[in-house]
């Protein structure tokens, strides 16, 4: 129950373990083509250009930056944690002049301040971390993306810990890049960097005055590959991770059969049950309020008298949690992932393990109170 890699569906794992085909075989061409088409549907972006490349979420971030920023251009980072810091570092590496709208850990930057910066900042692009995995903070992505669009600024949304778990409508909202990785709510083992890029962003890339600094990141190398596979032809730049693409095609099919709106709602429901349990246990969340709390993970301060070694006690109860990640708070909190195939049974098992581990650590609780609260939250209304 960590915020990635998550638990994976057995059908996805069977695809991962299938006999590896040639990357130019008719079988693989068909699978890769379907995966690209399905990524458009998952991002709710029929007009966007999908990219599926071997790499991590950080590589997806770097591809966006490498292709859309030239030295000396200005970028606004809406900072909500550790991975927003990483995006700022990437932008600086590629020569951008970076301005950051910051907030205290657990909060989101003031929307009026972001609007003011966009209005007068002469920015090429704005970046937003939809869910920062370090803090569990959910940024108001729709409002921020629409604000950037009003001011003629490209929007790059890091959806690594959000895509297929948090509501996002790329085309309808006007987001220019939605990027993610395979190992979280998309439900595929680590190793794929994925981007969905708007026509406006592709036009911006085509209008560059300078070459992209990274060969492997350059859209010019990857676009012919993506276009070829989607139209049923083989093409080569670098060997794709064949079995991961098999697994991706299966997982995206499962997501679409569930339905994106139903999937978003299921993640909200599981998160609501966890939140009921946290309240019953008296645990304080790192996000300052539920309005900025993610539905794909929870970040919670340790209660008084409990320290970071307690995460090991939960493991002894059969559930694996994650420690803190944000540098300012790393030893003060823990994280619970609840995305992809998480079910009511997983919620109750996790809450029960946390209850037992808190009791072992000497934390005074009413036995079963958090499980009962989660169970009540999971029951249908009425």
Q: Residue 48: name the closest of 230, 217, 225, 199 by CA.
A: 199
The 3-state DSSP class for residue 178 equals: strand
Q: 335 labelled as ligand-binding?
A: yes
Q: Residue 142: name the closest of 203, 60, 78, 74 by CA.
A: 78
Cis peptide before 34 (omega within 30 of 0): no
CA 341 – CA 346 distance, rounded (Å): 9
Name the packing angle between helices 260-281 and 344-360 (round to 10°). 20
DSSP line for 106-146: TS---HHHHHHHHHHS--SEEEEESEETTTTEE--HHHHHH
- Angle at alpha carbon of residue 247, lines to 222 and 169, rounded to 5°: 65
For 51, list phi and psi in degrees, rounded to 5. Answer: -130, 130
Q: Which helix (H) or strand (E) holds 202?
A: helix 199-206
Query: Cα dihedral sign for 167, 241, 238, 96?
Result: positive
Query: Cα dihedral sign for 337, 268, 47, 178?
Result: negative
3-state helix, strand, coil in the chain (%, to 5): 45, 15, 40
Q: How far is CA 15 from CA 225, 299, 311, 369, in A?
A: 22, 32, 33, 40
| Residues composing the chain | 382
For 12, list phi and psi in degrees, rounded to 5. Answer: -65, -40
Q: Residue 160: name the closest of 341, 333, 297 by CA.
A: 297
The 3-state DSSP class for residue 181 equals: strand
Output the known binding site. 335
Output the known binding site for substrate. 335
């Amino acid at each position: 129950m960590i915020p990635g890699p998550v638990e994976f569906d057995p059908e996805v794992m069977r695809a991962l373990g299938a006999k590896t085909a040639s990357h130019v075989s008719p079988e693989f061409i068909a699978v890769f083509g379907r995966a690209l088409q399905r990524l458009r549907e998952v991002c709710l972006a029929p007009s966007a250009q999908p990219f599926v490349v071997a790499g991590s979420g950080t590589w997806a971030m770097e591809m966006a930056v490498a292709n859309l920023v030239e030295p000396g251009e200005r970028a606004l980072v809406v900072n909500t944690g550790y991975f927003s810091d990483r995006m700022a570092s990437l932008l600086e590496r590629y020569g951008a002049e970076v301005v950051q709208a910051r907030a205290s850990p657990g909060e989101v930057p003031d929307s009026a301040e972001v609007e003011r910066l966009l209005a007068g900042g002469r920015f090429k692009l704005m970046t937003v971390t939809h869910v920062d995995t370090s803090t569990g903070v959910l940024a108001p992505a729709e409002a921020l993306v629409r604000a950037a669009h009003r001011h003629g600024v490209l929007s790059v949304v890091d959806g690594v810990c959000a895509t297929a778990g948090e509501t996002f409508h790329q085309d309808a909202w006007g987001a220019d890049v939605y990027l993610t990785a395979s190992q979280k709510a998309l439900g595929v083992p680590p190793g794929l960097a994925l981007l969905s890029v708007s026509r406006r962003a592709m036009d911006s890339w085509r209008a560059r005055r300078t070459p992209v600094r990274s060969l492997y990141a350059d859209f010019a190398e990857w676009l012919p590959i993506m276009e070829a596979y989607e139209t049923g032809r083989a093409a080569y730049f670098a060997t794709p991770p064949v079995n991961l693409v098999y697994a991706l095609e299966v997982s995206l099919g499962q997501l679409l059969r569930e339905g994106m709106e139903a999937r978003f709602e299921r993640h909200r429901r599981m998160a609501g049950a966890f939140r009921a349990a946290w309240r019953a246990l008296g645990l304080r969340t790192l996000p300052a309020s539920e309005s900025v709390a993610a539905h794909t993970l929870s970040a919670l301060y340790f209660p008084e008298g409990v320290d970071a070694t307690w995460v090991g006690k939960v493991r002894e109860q059969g559930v694996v949690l994650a420690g803190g990640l944000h540098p300012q708070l790393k030893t003060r909190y823990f994280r619970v992932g609840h995305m992809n195939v998480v079910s009511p049974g997983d919620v109750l098992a996790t809450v029960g393990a946390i209850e037992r581990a808190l009791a072992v650590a000497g934390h005074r609780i009413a036995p079963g109170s958090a499980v009962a609260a989660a169970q009540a939250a999971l029951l249908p209304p009425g």
